[in-house]
Chain A
């Protein structure tokens, strides 16, 4: 079948502002949207800029806005979008990050926020035996959050960031949970400063847009709420 891919284009060397361009592409309905973009790039217009690598939803390179919804082009089948929205597919870069070229955005701030929550197990105690023990239950508490591929779909989907660009955003908080809930981690205090700040967890208003957009099925909003609870409990303890 033929579909029309309507792509937001922008080249800072030649364009004052972004514009849309349409490409007609022949695709199999079972193909990925990424396959359609690759066909454009290889056989129609080599200058189309987008990131990609694994092509099966595990590296986080090709998050973009597809018909107004954030997600991975390689995890979106042509037939899904066509069934829902007809045979013109609009693709735009993710929001809240400066566009560098076509669908490529500058993710520095997104990664900066991720790094700010100290995304590593904090525990300097010597390990006596080869491995630290952890029960199956303890391991499962944070299981979903270990899936994060830092694709930034959730970040682009978040309505809070529309108003407050300093909010650290859903991915960073979900990753904070990944470590806070790990029985081997002792970093609660160190992360407190960042999470309990005005732009930490508190701006989240439970819109659930992050959770809906996450291609790795992470229960982001739930994890954000868990951290709020941890912080509140800690305050109660201090008061009593």
Chain B
């Protein structure tokens, strides 16, 4: 079945919904989402959204932009970072005006708190920049935007999962979609398509990401010849609940929480004398692993799963209740402890994809290092790479990225879709997807996805994790290739059409395998340490050879790497100390 729209938005997290609100003002828009919109993982975001409002102390967008660039280890495109910081202020006011219930200062203004890597006056000390609604900021953003979509009667196709992209040369004309309820294949033809499909932390064994975070958008694009940018940069958040990976927001440290080793020492004093526990995440995560490797973890056995303590006992019940209620509840539910009484056992957890589909500042997808635009194709949010996060994202900058660049993409689309010529698509556009689905559901014998998933996640966690080296990454590439070969014969156990979640999960696994390969191959090729990419065999940053974005092309069974320049037009790269 072919549906005709001017604009199709894929994904209903913060980025997709914001874009939908803008695009639907001017163009006939459909939002497709494999989850009910309010189930999107934006709802899991906890700590805050940054903007230099200066409500509690002096702050400036310029400082915010600089922190973003430095936090990203100078791999950030600086003009994009300035746009992010400048438009942040209006973006947060807009959310407030649309009903978002921020926590308030005694004067009734939006309250702000500290977060890692956000500083006053170019690094002098921490600044209160994160606007927040308890520790449910993402939940409130998602709810508020969804409420606005209800008010504005945006059309949704819930539980529609995109499986392919329709491209003719450098022009996009729609997507191929499976409807969960019926198993039917649909074609959505559109002049403009926006991917806002979120992250892909499910490549890794221990992650803060939802099951749905399988990187469908980037994977579909990669298979259609679009490169993925900076895939080697994947953020491990320092504080996941040991063993489970459930996130304990940086806001705990923002409110004064302290990381301690087995002797109760505040070990960050050694690694980051100025920002201490509020150093950027890559630095804190590495420091934690170093402590564990030195036998200073809580058990002290130097094992990879040894852990550390996040001490919030001194914050007091009142602060915990008013500012960190969900965190307190996670601790009670999953650990049986109250953070007011006991320290929280934590370990880094795979958290955020800095890399993704390359775009310009309007969300338009870029095909190569010459800046060739794919007409009608857009991306925003975590699946995209503008790039404002460079080699390491600062906390609270992702929610901001969603609203700033989701909005910009939506606005650009509204204009583009009015001017652009109509597109023509016929049923054959779904042929490839149809053949693949027929094959995996044909009822014959083949491996099921469970073991392949397990092995992929273990390989990525152990060999393309926080510390990396040539040998292990090469092994990872080989192992992932091997899994991709096994995946070719995969079969689902569920052969019915109605609500076949088995089928959709197997398709997601294929996406994660492709992204794992691109990540491992990009990481192998970057022979330096920068931000979240730290190599034991190349421990230094190497600006002469690697101050550049990677572009990884998936070509049949190999990955071809190319590179493009970083915009360093405002601040000259400097050594990164905190």
Q: Chain A interface (Cβ within 8 Å of chain B)?
A: 11-14, 30, 41-43, 45-47, 49-61, 75, 77, 100-102, 104, 107, 111, 115, 118-121, 127, 130-136, 138-139, 142-143, 146-147, 149-150, 179, 182, 184-185, 217
Contacts and interface: CB of A to CB of B under 8 A. Distances in A.
Given A13-B498, A42-B449, A146 B101 contact: yes
Contacts of A149: 38, 43, 139
Given A41-B502, A131-B97, A133-B108, A11 B333 contact: no
A56 B496 contact: no
B39 A59 contact: yes
B121 interface: no
B404 interface: no
Contacts of B89: 130
A4 to B, nearest CB: 20
Of B40, B494, B497, most buried by chain A (CB within 10 Å of CB) is: B494
A111 B326 CA distance: 25
Given A13-B497, A61-B39, A185-B99, 20 more contacts: A30-B334, A41-B501, A46-B492, A46-B502, A47-B502, A53-B210, A54-B39, A55-B246, A56-B244, A58-B326, A59-B39, A59-B43, A100-B181, A101-B499, A111-B36, A115-B150, A120-B98, A127-B97, A139-B101, A146-B133
B211 A55 contact: yes
Contacts of A11: 496, 498
30 contacts: A11-B496, A11-B498, A14-B496, A41-B501, A42-B448, A42-B450, A46-B449, A46-B492, A46-B502, A47-B494, A47-B502, A53-B211, A54-B44, A54-B211, A58-B44, A58-B139, A59-B40, A59-B43, A59-B210, A61-B35, A119-B147, A120-B99, A130-B53, A130-B93, A131-B109, A136-B108, A146-B101, A179-B99, A182-B99, A182-B101
Contacts of A52: 211
Q: Which 9 A-B pairs have the closest CB atoms?
A: A121-B99, A42-B450, A46-B493, A47-B494, A101-B499, A133-B108, A120-B147, A46-B502, A130-B93
B136 interface: yes
Chain B: interface size category: 35 or more
Contact of B106 (A61, A130, A136): A136
Nearest to A185: B99
Contacts of A133: 104, 107-109
Nearest to B208: A56
B556 to A, nearest CB: 28
Contact of B104 (A58, A101, A121, A139): A139
Given A47-B493, A58-B326, A133-B107, A150 B101 contact: no
B453 interface: yes
Contacts, number: 153
Contacts of A58: 43-44, 136, 139, 326
A117 to B, nearest CB: 10
A54 B43 contact: yes
A59 B44 contact: yes
A72 B517 CA distance: 34
Nearest to B493: A46
B41 interface: yes
Given A12-B498, A42-B450, A131-B110, A136 B210 contact: no
B96 interface: yes
B69 interface: no
A58 to B, nearest CB: 5
A159 B33 CA distance: 33
A121 B99 CA distance: 5
Nearest to A100: B499
Given A13-B496, A131-B96, A56 B148 contact: no
Nearest to B46: A58
A146 B326 CA distance: 12
Given A46-B502, A77-B333, A146-B133, A184 B38 contact: no
Contacts of B496: 11, 13-14, 47
